[in-house]
Amino acid sequence: MSSLSRELVFLILQFLDEEKFKETVHKLEQESGFFFNMRYFEETVTNGEWDEVEKYLSGFTKVDDNRYSMKIFFEIRKQKYLEALDKRDRAKAVEILVKDLKVFSAFNEELFKEITQLLTLENFRDNEQLSKYGDTKSARGIMLVELKKLIEANPLFRDKLQFPTLKNSRLRTLINQSLNWQHQLCKNPKANPDIKTLFVDHTCGQPNGARAPSPVTNPLMGGVPKAGGFPPLSAHVPFQPAPAPLPTSLAGWMANPSPVPHPSASAGPMGLATSNNAAIMKRPRTPPTNNPAMDYQTADSEHVLKRPRPFGISDEVNNLPVNILPVAYTGQSHGQSSYTSDDLPKAVVMSLPQGSTVKSMDFHPVQQILLLVGTNMGDFMVWDLGGRERLATRNFKVWELGSCSMPLQASLANDYSASVNRVTWSPDGTLFGVAYSKHIVHLYSYHNGDDIRNHLEIEAHVGSVNDLAFSYPNKLCVVTCGEDRVIKVWDANTGSKQYTFEGHEAPVYSICPHHKENIQFIFSTATDGKIKAWLYDNLGSRVDYDAPGHSSTTMAYSADGTRLFSCGTNKEGDSHIVEWNESEGAVKRAYHGLGKRSVGVVQFDTTKNRFLAAGDEFQVKFWDMDSTNLLTATDAEGGLPASPCIRFNKEGILLAVSTNENGIKILANQEGIRLLRTMESRPFDASRVASAAVVKAPAMGTFPPANPVAGTSIGDRAAPVTAMVGMNSDNRSLVDVKPRIPDESGEKSRIWKLTEINEPSQCRSLRLPDNLTAMRVSRLIYTNSGLAILALASNAVHKLWKWQRNVPSKATASVAPQLWQPSSGILMTNDISDTNPEDAVPCFALSKNDSYVMSASGGKISLFNMMTFKTMTTFMPPPPAATFLAFHPQDNNIIAIGMEDSSIQIYNVRVDEVKTKLKGHQKRITGLAFSHVLNVLVSSGADSQLCVWNTDGWEKQASKFLQIPNGHTAAPLADTRVQFHHDQIHLLAVHETQIAIYEAPKLECCKQWVPREASGSITHATYSCDSQSIYVSFEDGSVGVLTVSTLRFRCRINPTAYLPPNPSLRVYPLVVAAHPSDPNQFALGLTDGGVCVIEPSESEGKWGTSPPLENGAGTSTTSGAAGSEQPQR
């Protein structure tokens, strides 16, 4: 059903309600499933009409859809059962027990037994949990409060609790407009037409020469009396003029009301006791409000109606928090924590000489210390703030002058210069764009080392290109706007034009792409103060309203994408910074403190979902988002222009500000100062930049980003992907922070040395507490939250260690976690069938939100609930046994299952069906990795072969056997593991004989590294969370840290640093796991059953330094302490 058809249902519902067709209204609500009438539901529950209650609910959910739905039906049926017992109607109670409540025994058998035992009591209130049960009326009232909370928290009711805001009798209005239009088309219109039917189009009869009547004064369709004396339909003047198009409302295309803290229900354990009205969820859901944000504006209304099978992992359930027990909610909105003005970066830590006026700046979305800067002379450069070095610079130059239009060629012939108007990184940091004042946009790709490459040259606009942003409507795109009053969307890979948006009457000043739910859109602002919004279609702008003061304005969302702000300056110099109510297109909050007569357009930025900053009156001014008054300001020790350019880094711990003297000042808070001090090593190397990455995204799925804001938006906006290292080393220059003379000759003459960690005092390590049977650790993973570690032992038992959420905020070697078990004391134990688990190939995969783990140890595959440890289902009994599992990145119900018989099965959990079987290996599958950028699945097997499969049709695209190094022989069943780099293109292949980097989908080998024989075979390896390092474990117990860009050792952690001496027991790591947000933390699963978390010492903060390029990094043979480890190309 299309969205317009869906809206028609709402119009019919309004019509039926106004006409008092009460039963029909609720029947249509239930059958369509579009609107849940809470008032009607309350009436039926209060009246005890249980059959109607369940029938009405059935239009929206079923018992087994998710935990909320299950608890809703349980509470209703429990109440019905207790009322039958209260009436001493044992026969009715038994019927309810068998017919209605028995279904819950499969989920909680003990509870069902307890409910059954109530039949043996003379008065069920003798049960301690039900001792406070009052009379029927009060019990229904208490239950109703709980049911409303459960319904509001249930994802299946999302956007179905609020009826769209409509004018009275909207359907009649539309019919009147249609009749008016038909009458206008009449060849011989009558002055007072007599319209008697809607079944055919209206036409006037005999010609009388009369003109068409005014639609305002001539009603064509009045109220239609209904049999039985109902009042007429129309509550408005019939045949009224068509309403103006929605000028100030985004409601017609934005699905989300503004988030407001709201206590939701606990979907925790079902029980006998009276509902706890104070029980609220940790993550509240937006309540229904009275704002006009319509809840039915999805283009895929069928998707709303999809209901998962009992054991399907639906998106709704998968987005629930892991902790479903009642948790007190503080009431802070938008996830704000207790930031103060002291958390703002206000201390000047360095000055960078730029040489020309700074026009635009942007911090790298992953590497916290890389700053991209564009100037009025047309040049741009990349700064490494940790090393205080200019890594690369490029001047304005047209790449293909002959391909340019004649107007551009003429302009360049007259004046071959241009200013940079905008620089910005792509959401993953692999590309950046530069918009110039003359027609052109340049896209560059940024690679490892000093590698910067021309990617695309686009002649985007006639005249100046005023702004540029990246977006992801269905693939990575570049959005541009210009002096020619047009907005354009380009494919970021090919440069082909996708859309052109016309409608502004003045040059387009800025753009702000964003998305809400599944709706992608673009805000644009023009120099005449007009703001418009566009969907990715050719239907024109969806909104049209004025910026405060008709100013040239930029717009930006908060980091979490929930709040919209704008800042601008008009021709008179009046500046305005405001927060918008998106659903109404109106200013929600105007902030005070900007100067009265600004020079130039005031620039602004947001950070931490809490603060706004603007460059104004030779200062940087700060506001708390929730307060209109100025919070604080700084002049950055002087030297700022009247309206400086500003930009926060992603974490909000650094702030770049342009200066009067063609330079940049970097401001930092305490955390930023610590970061920069850590990064102050020289010469520049990839490890320094990599360790500055503060990655917050889950390990599974990085791109497209959760919030693809670009353009004029925040520094907090991108998902972490590939790492950045130096480029154009010949253009480096040192920056004076404090007066000093760098000794270049001394720098180069230093001999690099591999960092060796031999003593416990040289690092931080923690063996996790364990009172369960110690069996060798076969599989190990951090949860995506970074707060827990899950291990699978060779005896098929899982172990879960959890750190407390408050302090620390992540797993750490400094604080011991708890070996966690539910109160039931059960263990997550895999089915082992008739196999010996010691001989099996264990495997598991974790869902994105850490709620479920899918696991196997030679027997059937089990799906476990990570909260309760209960087995939700088992499937696929051997033979063949599963040997590797991977969730599809876009659909948690699709799983790739590698099998013992060398096949790969693509399995749909929801419908319990194998979609296809992939055959290409000769031995069992040992690794699987999805790339959602390339839309491929890469598999690896014990045959030392890699295969690439297209995920659209599951055809094999490529295959390649690993290059076994000379002098090495691969074991007959050697595990080969694969893992994608954050760029989703480069692939890490791990084999006992080597580490190799391949480029998908063609599987071209980029680099290969072979360990020295003394270390023994490689047992496992993994990328760090920022893909800048590789942690490699060896049979001799040591762990190596490789730098990805050079594939060279920079640090070796010997077993004496983390293992107690025990000559009689040979212990070494079988598996290594990287922390999902700390690039310097990893965990080891050991042969003796232990799990160790290892971090650098606090004084070092990172694992060694990479060998400098001039000392041979990147050559085929390593010198010094690295021994015979050889990177090969």
The β-bridge partners of 100 are none
Res 924 pLDDT > 50: yes
Q: What secondary structure does DSSP assign to 991-1056, as a single string? A: ETTEEEEEETTTTEEEEEEE--GGG--EEEEEE-TTSSEEEEEETTS-EEEEETTTTEEEEEE-GG
> 271-283 burial string, b = 16+ CB within 10 Å, else e?
bbebbeeebbbbe
Res 297 pLDDT > 60: no
What is each CA distance from 705 to 51, 259, 475, in whole angstroms? 45, 21, 11
Contacts of 7 by beta carbon, 8 Å cutoff, 6+ apart: 164, 296
Model pLDDT for residues 563-593, shown as the tens digit of each residue: 999 999 988 888 999 999 877 778 999 999 9
Taking residues 753-765, what's their average pLDDT?
91
Ranges 551-560, 772-781, 837-846, 899-908: which has the least confidence: 837-846
Q: Under a CB-based contact definition with an 8 Å cutoff, are residues 531 and 539 in contact? A: no
Structure tokens at 456: 């695309």
Dihedral sign from CA coordinates of 1094, 1099, 1101, 1102: negative
> How confident is the model at residue 335, as a pLDDT?
38
* Three-state SS at 794: coil
Structure tokens at 981: 């780099």
**pLDDT band (50, 70, 90) for residue 2:** low
% of the chain residues with pLDDT over 70: 78
For residue 444, is it left (φ>0), alpha (ψ between -120 and 50) or beta? beta
Taking residues 304-327, what's their average pLDDT?
34
Encoded amino acid at 572, one letter = E
Nearest 10 degrees: Cα torsion 1095, 1098, 1102, 1108: -150
Nearest CA to 502 among 474, 466, 458, 538? 538
Q: Under a CB-based contact definition with an 8 Å cutoff, are residues 1013 and 1128 in contact? A: no
What's the DSSP call for residue 75?
A: H
Greater model confidence, 460 or 226: 460
How far from the centroid of its chain's Cα atoms is residue 625's Cα? 22
> How confident is the model at residue 282, as a pLDDT?
33
d(CA 324, CA 523): 37
Res 714 pLDDT > 70: no
CB atoms within 10 A of CB 121: 12
CB atoms within 10 A of CB 977: 19
Taking residues 378-387, what's their average pLDDT?
89
Res 249 pLDDT > 80: no
Res 299 pLDDT > 70: no
Greater model confidence, 711 or 525: 525
Question: Number of C-alpha atoms within 13 angstroms, CB side, residue 230?
Answer: 15
> How confident is the model at residue 256, as a pLDDT?
36
Structure tokens at 549: 């003061």
Taking residues 322-342, what's their average pLDDT?
42
* Three-state SS at 746: helix
d(CA 235, CA 227): 18
Taking residues 770-785, what's their average pLDDT?
90
Structure tokens at 1045: 């860009």
Model pLDDT for residues 983-1014, shown as the tens digit of each residue: 899 999 999 999 999 999 999 999 999 987 76
Q: Under a CB-based contact definition with an 8 Å cutoff, are residues 707 and 1085 in contact? A: no
Ranges 270-279, 313-322, 1099-1108: which has the least confidence: 313-322
d(CA 910, CA 1095): 40
> How confident is the model at residue 67, as a pLDDT?
83
Structure tokens at 367: 């590497």
Q: What secondary structure does DSSP assign to 454-492, as a single string? A: EEEEEE-SSS-EEEEEEE-SSS-EEEEEETTSEEEEEET
> Does residue 808 have a cis peptide bond before it, meaning omega lies within 30 degrees of 0?
yes
Taking residues 269-278, what's their average pLDDT?
51
Res 688 pLDDT > 50: no
Res 64 pLDDT > 50: yes
> How confident is the model at residue 1117, as a pLDDT?
32
Res 73 pLDDT > 70: yes
Encoded amino acid at 426, one letter = S
Q: Under a CB-based contact definition with an 8 Å cutoff, are residues 561 and 514 in contact? A: yes
Nearest CA to 318 among 743, 890, 1103? 890
Pairing of strands 1029-1034, 1039-1043: antiparallel
> How confident is the model at residue 439, as a pLDDT?
93
CA geometry: angle 228, 232, 238, nearest 5 deg = 160
Question: Number of C-alpha atoms within 13 angstroms, CB side, residue 1092?
Answer: 25
| Longest pairwise C-alpha distance within the chain | 114
Greater model confidence, 221 or 822: 822
Taking residues 23-48, what's their average pLDDT?
92
Q: What secondary structure does DSSP assign to 1049-1098, as a single string? A: EEEEE-GGGTS---TT----EEEEEE-SS-TT-EEEEETTS-EEEEEE-T
Nearest CA to 830 among 859, 853, 802? 859
Nearest CA to 625 among 612, 634, 635? 612
For residue 984, is it left (φ>0), alpha (ψ between -120 and 50) or beta? left
Model pLDDT for residues 630-671, shown as the tens digit of each residue: 999 999 999 999 999 999 998 899 999 999 989 999 999 988
Nearest CA to 1024 among 1096, 1118, 1122? 1096
Pairing of strands 564-569, 543-546: unpaired
Structure tokens at 391: 């890594």
Dihedral sign from CA coordinates of 901, 906, 910, 912: negative
Taking residues 781-805, what's their average pLDDT?
91
The β-bridge partners of 927 are 940
Res 57 pLDDT > 50: yes
Contacts of 636 by beta carbon, 8 Å cutoff, 6+ apart: 346, 348, 619, 620, 657, 659, 665, 667
H/E run at residue 28: helix 22-32
Res 1121 pLDDT > 60: no
Structure tokens at 806: 């408050």
Instruction: Kindly report the average pLDDT of the chain as a whole number.
Output: 79
**pLDDT band (50, 70, 90) for residue 338:** low
> How confident is the model at residue 78, as a pLDDT?
92
Model pLDDT for residues 1052-1077, shown as the tens digit of each residue: 999 999 998 877 788 999 999 999 98
d(CA 723, CA 720): 9
Res 133 pLDDT > 70: yes
d(CA 713, CA 715): 7
> 487-523 burial string, b = 16+ CB within 10 Å, else e?
bbbbebeebeebbebebbeebbbbbbbbbbeebbbbb
Res 251 pLDDT > 80: no
H/E run at residue 70: helix 67-86
pTM: 0.44
Residues recorded for the chain: 1129
Encoded amino acid at 110, one letter = E
Res 278 pLDDT > 80: no
Res 1015 pLDDT > 80: no
Res 966 pLDDT > 50: yes
Res 615 pLDDT > 80: yes
Model pLDDT for residues 512-569, shown as the tens digit of each residue: 999 886 788 999 999 999 999 999 988 888 888 889 988 899 999 998 888 999 999 9
Q: Under a CB-based contact definition with an 8 Å cutoff, are residues 654 and 686 in contact? A: no
